[in-house]
Amino acid sequence: MVKPVRRIVAGEDEKGNAVIFSDGPVRDILTDPARPGYSEARVWVTDGTPAPYAGIKETTDRPYTIEPPTRGSVCRVITFPPEASYIGKVTEQDVQAYFKLAGSPSASTYSRSAPHPYMQKTRTLDFVLVLEGEITLVLDTAEVHLKRGDTVVQRGANHAWSNRSDKPARLVFSLHDGVWN
């Protein structure tokens, strides 16, 4: 059972008063059947920068994709279960099914010779914070072990997240549309 993510949306009403528009669990949740316990809670999406906020009370009704909209951003909380129970069983079809379900089939860089089956590459600038647990950032030629409170600035690199511990890891991701130079 994955712990719910509470989301509070605050803004100004028509009189200019700061108010709470909503307060409750995130309802836009994506799971991966091949990774029991994996969940992505999509918190908010923007369509551009600067991000409009007047009168906007909800944004997660847009189609789901890993990448944010053009010139936009997306914030999500992802829970990675310990991978010992599934890592040797995940097939290429499982990985492709997940990326298709996530609305980003072309983000997968799956290869039998890759360091992790869920390797991916997106045209995004990602800010990542480890909230709970431990996780390893897997790159083509390096790995970095991360603990609670650690942060990552991931700039369009081919990567995956590997939870080699015996407890779930929970991370916050803020992805921003980027440009390959």
Other C-beta atoms closer than 10 Å to the C-beta of 63 total 7
Q: What is the pTM of this model?
A: 0.95
Q: What is the pLDDT of residues 26-83, one digit of tens each?
A: 999 999 999 999 999 999 999 988 888 887 888 999 999 999 999 999 999 999 999 9
Residues 45/66, Cβ–Cβ less than 8 Å: no
Strands 124-132 and 169-177: antiparallel
Quick one: pLDDT at residue 54? 81
- Which superfamily does CATH assign the domain made up of 31-177 to? Jelly Rolls (2.60.120.10)
Q: List, in sequence order, every residue forming a beta bridge with 39; answer none if it has no partner.
A: 31, 79
Are 75 and 124 contacting, i.e. CB atoms less than 8 angstroms apart?
Answer: no
C-alpha dihedral sign at 58, 61, 64, 65: negative
Is pLDDT at 101 greater than 90 in this prediction?
yes
Q: How many helices (H) and strands (E) does the chain have?
A: 1, 11
- The pLDDT value given to residue 57: 86
Q: Which residues contact 50 (CB under 8 A, 6 or more apart)?
A: none
| Alpha-carbon span 38 to 41, nearest angstrom | 10
pLDDT (tens digit, 9 = 90+) per residue, 102-138? 999 999 999 999 999 999 999 999 999 999 999 999 9
**Is pLDDT above 80 for 181?**
no
Each domain of the chain, given as residue ranges in start order, spans 31-177
pLDDT bracket for residue 174 (50, 70, 90): very high
